[in-house]
């Protein structure tokens, strides 16, 4: 099936609207949350699709309504926001998720949460240690996917945290203890490999299989930790391959804020990965060409699709469509074939306010249209 050049896709989470946060906490909406709800509903009329829930929330009956119904509303809101912006592949803005580590780990056995670690300043994240063999309690993300599939007008694309990242963000206790002798670099690496592969085989693959069974066709495996240890790129790949072994879906791998060259060529061994979804716009400034790194893919003869980050999720300044179009043209220059390119934000837009996020998505779609016009009219 042919599709227009440079289709746009979601890449991750959106900021949760204030009305959703208050509603989930069973708190009545204050004036700003109420007007935010009304304003957003005027754009997409999402509330009319779940009228009972919307009415109850606005009437201050969040407690009676229950958190799940509020999350349904939040998911529907995000879905319609993405669709109205013109995205071809959509999800729910991860409206039901809080973060990408704790939730999947809580669906498994073999882990014990240890407490908070400081990420920077007064920001922390919860860390778990694997203290026994990894086992999956039950496949996850199924209910949220079912909801999206029932309501989406665009093609659903599900993001899921990859095995390497889950392992890297955990403390490896069980698999390390199985190794004999001093736990030096080589021993730790062997233990980490066991951990990654077990996560992939015992937890991620069954979950992916269940999602596919539910009709999920497009799956993005998030591996933000891949760039932390470039010398472990082969473990990223081994985890990806084990997680997707024998499964039939369109898999992509999302990595961001990393030195992609340092991960090549090992990363190219991810057999069932059809698309690299990477961040580029953040590094495309101060006279530097953030897309030049794509040359490395061409140098290695890799011909997979690229999910091209064309808007920066760490700045409020909204890119002009002409800037997006210029970025796409440069990417085509490095990759050769324009049909390989999807466009998306660099990463999840949850770092930005909803209004900025919406305008960045609209700029993404408008910029893609400009570039498409160029290529289809033969100006390029």
Partner 1 sequence: MIVRTGLTGPFPRPEALVAATRDLDRGRASPDAVEEVFARTEAEVVALEDRLGLDTRTGGYLRWMDLFRPFAETWEGFSVGPLTRWFQTNTFYRQPILHAPPGRVPGAIAARLPLPARADPARGGVILPGPYTFAGLLDNRSGEADEALVHRLGRLLSEEGRELAGLGFGAFQFTEPLLVDRPPEGALAEAVVAAYRSIAGAIGPGTALVWTYGADATPVLPLLDRLPVGGVGVDLAETDWESLPAGGERRGLGLGVIDPRTTLVEDPAEVARIVRELAERRRPSAIWLGPGAPLDLLPWEPATRKLHLLAAARQALGDADGGPR
Give the footprint of partner 1 on this chain (CB under 8 A): 114-122, 124-125, 127, 129, 168-169, 171-173, 176-177, 181-185, 188, 225, 228-229, 257
Q: Which is nearer to partner 1, 241 or 282 (CB)?
A: 282
| Residue 181 C-beta: closest distance to partner 1, Å | 8
Q: What is the rounded CA–CA span in Å between residue 226 and residue 234?
A: 10
Q: Which residues pair with 220 in a beta bridge?
A: 159, 252
DSSP secondary structure letter of residue 93: T
* Cβ closest to partner 1, residue 31 vs residue 121: 121
- Reference 344, options 325, 359, 364; nearest CA is 364
* Beta carbon of residue 75, minimum distance to partner 1 (angstroms, whole number): 26
Of 33, 36, 35, nearest in space to 25 by CA: 33
Nearer to partner 1 by Cβ, of 181 and 246: the residue is 181
- Least distance (Å) between residue 124 CB and partner 1: 5
Minimum CB–partner distance for residue 338 and partner 1 (Å):
33
Output the six-digit token pair for 285: 């400034």
Helices (H), the chain: 18-24, 31-44, 51-58, 62-65, 67-85, 102-106, 142-151, 163-168, 174-177, 185-198, 205-213, 233-244, 260-263, 294-299, 321-335, 354-376
Backbone angles phi, psi at 207, to 5 degrees: -70, -45
In the complex, what is the shortest distance from the CB of residue 100 to partner 1, in angstroms, rounded to a whole number?
A: 12
Q: Which residue has the tokens 């780990």?
A: 105
Closest approach of partner 1 to the CB of residue 191, in Å: 9
> Residue 150 and residue 156: Cα distance in Å, rounded?
10
Nearer to partner 1, 44 or 114 (CB): 114
CA atoms within 13 A on the CB side of 216: 28
Please give the helix or strand (H or E) that residue 129 lies within, else none.
Answer: strand 123-136
Tokens of 135: 């086992």
Q: Which is nearer to partner 1, 114 or 241 (CB)?
A: 114
Shortest Å, Cβ 299 to partner 1: 25
252/258 with CB nearer partner 1: 258
Q: Quick check: helix, strand or coil at residue 337?
A: coil
Q: Given the complex with partner 1, which of 87 and 176 has the nearer CB atom?
A: 176
CB 32, min distance to partner 1, A: 16
Nearer to partner 1, 130 or 328 (CB): 130
Provide the b/e sequence for 286-295 (b: ≥16 CB within 10 Å): eeebbbebbe
Residues 6+ apart with CB under 8 A from 295: 334
3-state secondary structure of 252: strand
CB closer to partner 1 out of 21 and 339: 21
Helix, coil or strand: residue 303:
coil
Q: Judged by CB, which is closer to partner 1: 187, or 268?
A: 187
Q: What single-letter DSSP state applies at residue 336?
A: S
Compute the least distance from the CB of residue 169 to partner 1, in Å. 6
Q: Measuring CA to CA, how many Å separate 13 from each of 41, 91, 100, 123, 366?
A: 20, 9, 10, 19, 21
> Measured from the CB of residue 198, what is the shortest distance to partner 1 in angstroms?
16
């Amino acid at each position: 099936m042919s599709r227009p050049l440079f289709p746009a896709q979601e890449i991750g989470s959106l900021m949760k609207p204030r009305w959703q946060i208050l509603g989930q906490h069973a708190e009545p909406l204050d004036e700003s949350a109420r007007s935010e709800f009304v304003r957003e509903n005027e754009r997409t009329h999402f509330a009319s699709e779940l009228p009972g829930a919307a009415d109850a929330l606005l009437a201050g009956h969040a407690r009676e309504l229950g958190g799940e119904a509020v999350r349904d509303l939040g998911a529907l809101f995000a879905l319609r926001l993405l669709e109205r912006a013109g995205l071809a592949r959509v999800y729910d803005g991860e409206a039901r998720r809080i973060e990408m580590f704790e939730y999947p780990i809580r669906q498994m056995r073999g882990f014990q949460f240890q407490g908070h670690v400081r990420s920077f300043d007064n920001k922390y994240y919860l860390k778990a240690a694997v203290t026994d063999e990894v086992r999956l309690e039950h496949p996850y993300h199924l209910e949220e996917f079912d909801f999206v599939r029932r309501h989406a007008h665009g093609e659903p694309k599900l993001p899921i945290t990859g095995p390497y990242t889950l392992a890297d963000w955990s403390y490896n206790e069980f698999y390390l203890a199985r190794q004999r002798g001093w736990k030096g670099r080589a021993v730790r690496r062997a233990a980490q490999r066991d951990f990654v592969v077990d996560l992939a085989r015992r937890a991620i693959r069954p979950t992916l299989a269940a999602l596919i069974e539910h009709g999920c066709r497009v799956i993005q495996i998030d591996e933000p930790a891949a760039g932390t240890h470039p010398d472990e790129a082969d473990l990223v790949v081994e985890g990806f391959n084990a997680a997707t072994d024998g499964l039939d879906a369109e898999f992509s791998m999302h990595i961001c804020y990393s030195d992609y060259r340092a991960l090549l060529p090992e990363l190219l061994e991810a057999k069932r990965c059809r698309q690299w979804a990477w961040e580029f716009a953040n590094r495309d400034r101060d006279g530097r060409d953030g897309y030049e790194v794509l040359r490395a893919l061409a140098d290695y003869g890799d011909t997979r699709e690229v999910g091209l980050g064309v808007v920066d999720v760490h700045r409020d300044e909204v890119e002009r469509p002409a800037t997006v179009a210029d970025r796409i043209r440069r990417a085509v220059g490095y990759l050769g074939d324009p049909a390989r390119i999807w466009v998306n934000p660099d990463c999840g837009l949850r770092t930005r306010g909803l209004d900025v996020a919406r305008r960045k998505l609209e700029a993404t779609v408008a910029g893609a249209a400009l570039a498409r016009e160029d290529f289809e009219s033969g100006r390029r």
